[in-house]
A = this chain, B = another copy of it.
């Protein structure tokens, strides 16, 4: 039986292959976007788990939008704007997929930054959207290019990760946030503000969310994978009520609802008086890992690479300096790194197929320990040397 045509559009899942290889025992992986399991808040789970074990009603079918006490908590905690509502999804990935399924017709235009989160690329390709990218710099997305795109009239959605972007780690400055909100309002483009790393800031002050300047024109995706636990697969998506209701309709047909016992578990965790301390400690631990990684990069690869310091998130974007205009094959480089037992992701997989990219590698620093990170870079040096 032939798979559907749109399955042919999907980007090859190179990252799935590399993640599989990266699980070999002697490989240090800087490839995935995995949190550190040794820092999961297991102690804070004990009491909520105990409660769940005595609550058969949590194991019954539930409402599609989510477990009401968790929805209420999120609405208050995130101070939802009047007229906005939310639902619980199986990770932000499902939130994205629901938006694409509920709002995109084949051929509708979607704008995104390049490079871009791979899971978003896949979702929009599956929806047969037409993808347009704008470049990104330290001042945020290229606003001139973005307005030109919007002005053409076919862009329905702009997908953005303004805080600690995946894969570049960049944060949009305030001016870019205000300008993008204005553009979305002027051209009636729906903004998806994907904010999985927003609460992982290690230095400096948080900036207002882009959607706070255009709440009537945006969805916000908040993941609990990075601050709580990824294996429970829970996220909260909010936006104008008539932008949320169609998502609930699609979710009902796609899986009825996300598991209630885990929604109750998450609520117990978020309400725990110790949760804030967990978050403070987590930020310290990840900051330490980032220091270990950036220190090792300076020490061992200083002349071959350049990178912008990041203030949070999980990723560092390593730009490779070409010598004598000789092109660098980052796919080959990642393969050689894997032969040396360190897994990294070549930058080009974060671009739509066929699009030109500057040579770069994405390095994750949340999963490996500080000691492993230093060893990983020593191994990476060998891959560079064999180039």
A interface residues (Cβ-Cβ under 8 A, vs B): 1-7, 10, 13, 16, 32, 34-35, 37-38, 40, 42, 45-46, 49, 52-54, 56-62, 64, 89-91, 93-94, 97, 101-105, 119, 122-123, 126, 156, 188, 190, 225, 229-233, 242-243, 246, 249-250, 252-262
Contact = CB atoms under 8 A, between A and B. Distances in A.
Residue of A6, A32, A253 with most chain B CB atoms under a 10 A cut-off: A253
Nearest to A188: B1
Given A104-B4, A261-B231, A252 B13 contact: yes
Contacts of A7: 102, 246, 249-250
A218 B42 CA distance: 42
A3 B240 CA distance: 13
Contacts of A3: 102-103, 246
B230 A61 contact: yes
Nearest to A120: B253
A156 B1 contact: yes
Contacts of A58: 231
A64 B225 CA distance: 16
Contacts of A53: 42, 45-46, 49
A9 to B, nearest CB: 11
Nearest to A32: B61
Contacts of A56: 37-38, 40, 42
Given A32-B61, A259-B259, A261-B262, 18 more contacts: A1-B103, A1-B243, A2-B103, A3-B246, A4-B102, A5-B105, A6-B105, A7-B250, A37-B56, A37-B59, A42-B56, A59-B229, A59-B231, A60-B230, A90-B90, A231-B260, A231-B261, A254-B254
23 contacts: A3-B102, A4-B103, A7-B246, A13-B252, A35-B60, A37-B57, A37-B59, A37-B60, A38-B56, A40-B60, A42-B54, A49-B53, A59-B230, A59-B232, A60-B230, A93-B253, A93-B254, A122-B253, A123-B254, A231-B259, A232-B259, A233-B258, A233-B259
A92 B1 CA distance: 21
A190 B4 CA distance: 14
Number of identical protomers = 2
A233 to B, nearest CB: 5
A354 to B, nearest CB: 19
A249 B46 contact: no
Contacts of A94: 254-255
Nearest to A264: B231
Nearest to A230: B61
B254 A97 contact: yes
Select the residue from A35, A90, A232, A259 with max chain B CB neighbours within 10 A: A259
B61 A34 contact: yes
Nearest to A94: B255
A123 B126 CA distance: 16
B233 A257 contact: yes
B123 A253 contact: yes
A132 B138 CA distance: 55
Contact of A262 (B16, B93, B126, B259): B259
A252 B61 contact: no
A91 B126 CA distance: 22
Contact of A253 (B119, B242, B257, B261): B119
A348 B102 CA distance: 26
A53 B49 CA distance: 7
Contacts of A231: 58-62, 259-261
